[in-house]
A and B are shown apart, each in its own frame.
Chain A
Amino acid sequence: MDGDAGRAGAKGMLHADEFDEFYTSTYRRLVGQLYAMLGDLSEAEDAVQEAYCRAWQRRSKLNEYDNPEAWVRTVAYRIAVSSWRRTRNRLAAHRRHGPDQPVESVDSGDLDLIGALAGLPYEQRRVLVLHHLVGLPLADICRETGSPLGTVKSRLARGRQALAQHVAEFTDTRHGRISEDV
């Protein structure tokens, strides 16, 4: 995956055309990343959309952020997870058991991987995606998730372990690349 774009050089208020360019150049990539984290395209798109909305609202500060794209991704993730929790609470109130909320997924594609990812706790999944899809080094993942290194490492390790059945290179966890990437 290509690296994060949208690093704003100058400080100061973000102008409409700068925002538009930032939005246009990063939207799809972020939807893809959020989809990989969430497994639900509509959630991903809603959350990303909402996060851009908030980004524009704080355009006076956005340029000061080190990496606006990472900011949008982080905010989108939080939005999605908090709306999930709400939905779960609601569903729990309505029916005591049953499947999780219906998930709208991308129809074609790696159903095996989609299914395997769906079984992961979402924080593990998030870390896996940040590392393997976004390509962030562990230090950046710590910053983005607000978690200490030990937590990030163990989430990554447990996530890989859980996927081992479906992902050949994770079968032998000793060959995990965790330590190399610090």
Chain B
Amino acid sequence: MSDPHGTPAFDRRLAELARSAAAVARPESPAAVRLRAGRRTVRRRIGTGALAVAVLGAVVAGGVLRPSFRDDVPPAVTPSPVTPPSSTPTPTMEAPSVTASPPSPAGTVGARPPDPTPGRCTTANLTVTLGSPDAASGHRSVAVVFRNSGSTSCRLTGYPGVDALGGDGRTLAHAERTPRGYLGGAARGARPPTVTLRPGGVASALVEAQGFRADGGPCTAYVRLLVTPPDDVRSVRLGWDTDSCGELEVHPVVPGVTGRSG
């Protein structure tokens, strides 16, 4: 129905559609975009050759060229193991200046104010599992859940180590440590909390990734995560059924099973 006095109906309907999409958009912080762009610049210098190969691969797969040396499936390109950025990723983007109280616990086991008495949780007294996966806007996430299987309380603080492995067990990526990401993480502005786990208590850290690679290379999905609890040296392998293949991140341990707080 065209409204003779105003905007044509199509324009309005289109605008409404765009608005509804814009309303549910979940922008990263601009600082996170800048940070990611900065990291990428380093990687890009190395990655240009790989990109050219990928583009050629796509052309070949698209049937423009039909050489006999490779037939079809683009994802069959074996991924070269991802080299982590040489500088150690800094866990804090903006240094939190406040002595924030730990974020309110989402789950059952609360974060008490840091309590020096209990010892650190280690793989010896932890059961590590993956929670339910989540996805939005090309981003995928899964919470790594740490359950205190010991008989005394223990503490967890900071980031677990997380690597993504391919089906052949090779390391595809090392997770970047970021306070929070698209789908969750630690509360804004707060330091990673110290979570005290009573026997049977749980805490979790959110792992995020994306369903594409930022360098445009072929997407070889992660198959397993190699998880090392914070301040620990022993790790566990956990199967992750996902289609994600890039931008692996891990956020700090927070109370509850969702990997989210604040």
Contacts and interface: CB of A to CB of B under 8 A. Distances in A.
A and B interact physically: yes
Interface of A: 1, 16, 19-20, 23-24, 27-29, 31-33, 35-36, 41-46, 49-50, 52-54, 56-57, 82-83, 85-86, 89-90, 93-94, 104, 106, 108-110, 113-114, 128-129, 132-133, 163, 167-170
A170 to B, nearest CB: 7
A29 B22 contact: yes
Given A42-B136, A168-B9, A114 B17 contact: yes
Contacts of B72: 93
Contact of A28 (B22, B30, B31, B36): B22
Nearest to B136: A42
The binding surface of chain A is classed by DSSP as helix
Given A36-B17, A89-B61, A20 B137 contact: no
Interface of B: 1-2, 8-11, 13-28, 30-31, 33-34, 36-38, 40-41, 58, 61-62, 72-75, 136-139, 210, 212, 214, 216, 219
B11 A133 contact: yes
B2 A28 contact: no
9 contacts: A19-B34, A35-B18, A46-B138, A46-B210, A46-B212, A53-B40, A85-B58, A110-B16, A110-B17
Contacts of B37: 52-54, 56-57
Contacts of B33: 23, 49, 52-53, 56
Contact of B20 (A24, A46, A50, A108): A108
Given A27-B27, A85-B62, A106-B20, 18 more contacts: A19-B34, A32-B21, A35-B21, A36-B17, A42-B136, A45-B26, A46-B137, A46-B138, A56-B34, A83-B212, A89-B74, A109-B16, A113-B13, A133-B15, A168-B9, A169-B8, A169-B9, A170-B10
